[in-house]
Structure 1
Amino acid sequence: MKTIGQGHASGKIILMGEHAVVYGEPAIAFPFSGTGITTTVHFHHGNESWIESSFYHGPLAKAPHSMKNVTVLLWQLIRQFAISKPFYVTIESTVPAERGMGSSAAVAVSITRAFFDWLELPSNQEDILLFVNQAEKVAHGNPSGIDAATISGTEPLLYQKGLDFQPFQLNMDAFLVVADTGHKGQTRKAVKDVATLMETSRLETGGRIRQLGQLTKQAQQAISLNQPDVLGACMNRAQIHLQALGTSNYALDHLIETAIANHALGAKLTGGGRGGCMIALAENEERGRRLQQILLDAGARDTWIEGLGVYAHV
Structure 2
Amino acid sequence: MGRVAAPRILGGTCSRVSCIEDLFKEVFNCSPTHRVRAPGRVNLIGEHIDYNGLPVFPMALQRAARIVFRPRNDRIVALHSSDERFHPVEFEIGPEIERWSQGSWGNYVKAPAKELAYRFEIQRGFDGVLQSDIPVAAGLSSSSAIVNAVGLALAHLNDVLAEPGEFAGLMAEAELFVGTRGGGMDQAISLGAKDHSAAKVSFNPIRLQHVTVPDGWCFIIADSGEVAEKSGSRQAEYNLRRTKCEEALHIISTNLLEQGITEGLHESYPELCASLDTEVLLDFSENLLTASEHRCFRHVVTEAGRVEAAIERMLAADIRGFGAYMNASHDSLKTDYQVSTEALDEIVQVAREGGAVGARLTGAGFGGCVVALAERRRARDVLGALQVEYYERRGRENRMNERLFIAVPSRGASVRVI
Quote the residue 2:314 is aligned against: 223
Separation in structure 1 between the aligned mates of residue 328 and residue 344 of structure 2, nearest angstrom: 15
Q: Structure 2 matches for 1:1-314, cutoff 5 A?
A: 3-21=32-50, 25-33=54-62, 35-42=63-70, 50-53=78-81, 54=83, 55-60=86-91, 64-65=100-101, 66=104, 67-74=106-113, 80-83=121-124, 87-115=126-154, 125-126=164-165, 128-129=167-168, 132-155=171-194, 156-159=198-201, 162=204, 164-172=206-214, 173-185=216-228, 186=234, 188-189=236-237, 192=240, 195=244, 199-200=290-291, 206-245=297-336, 246-284=338-376, 287-297=378-388, 298-299=390-391, 302-307=403-408
* Structure 1 counterpart of 2:407, one-letter code: E
Q: From the superposition, tell whether residues 162 and 296 of structure 1 become closer, same or farther in structure 2 (CA, over 3 Å).
A: same
1:171, 1:225 within 8 Å by CA — same for their partners in 2?
no
Report the alpha carbon displacement of residue 279 of structure 1 after superposing the two structures with TM: 0.5
Report the alpha carbon displacement of residue 272 of structure 1 after superposing the two structures with TM: 1.6
* Cα displacement string for residues 122-163 of structure 1 (whole angstroms, at most 9, x for unaligned residues): 886257547634532212454322211111111444345656
Report the alpha carbon displacement of residue 258 of structure 1 after superposing the two structures with TM: 0.7
Report the alpha carbon displacement of residue 234 of structure 1 after superposing the two structures with TM: 1.0
User: In terms of mean alpha carbon deviation, does 268-277 or 13-22 score higher?
Assistant: 13-22
CA RMSD, 1 decimal:
3.7
* Cα displacement string for residues 273-311 of structure 1 (whole angstroms, at most 9, x for unaligned residues): 121111000110x53344334323412770221245xxx
Separation in structure 2 between the aligned mates of residue 24 and residue 128 of structure 1, nearest angstrom: 17
TM-score by length of 1: 0.80
Stretches of structure 1 lacking an aligned partner (at least 5 in a row): none
Paired residue secondary structure (1:169): strand
User: Computing the radius of gyration over CA atoms, which structure comes out larger, 1 or 2?
Assistant: 2
2:71, 2:157 within 8 Å by CA — same for their partners in 1?
no
2:49, 2:300 within 8 Å by CA — same for their partners in 1?
yes
Report the alpha carbon displacement of residue 193 of structure 1 after superposing the two structures with TM: 5.8
Stretches of structure 2 lacking an aligned partner (at least 5 in a row): 1-30, 93-97, 229-233, 249-288, 397-401, 413-418
The count of residues paired between Structure 1 and Structure 2 equals 306
Separation in structure 2 between the aligned mates of residue 64 and residue 31 of structure 1, nearest angstrom: 29
Report the alpha carbon displacement of residue 16 of structure 1 after superposing the two structures with TM: 1.2
* Cα displacement string for residues 236-261 of structure 1 (whole angstroms, at most 9, x for unaligned residues): 12222222122211110111111011
Paired residue secondary structure (1:226): coil
* Cα displacement string for residues 68-95 of structure 1 (whole angstroms, at most 9, x for unaligned residues): 2312434666885533xx7421111122
Separation in structure 2 between the aligned mates of residue 178 and residue 217 of structure 1, nearest angstrom: 22
Q: From the superposition, tell whether residues 208 and 72 of structure 1 become closer, same or farther in structure 2 (CA, over 3 Å).
A: closer
User: In terms of mean alpha carbon deviation, does 251-260 or 180-189 score higher?
Assistant: 180-189
TM-score by length of 2: 0.62
1:7, 1:39 within 8 Å by CA — same for their partners in 2?
yes
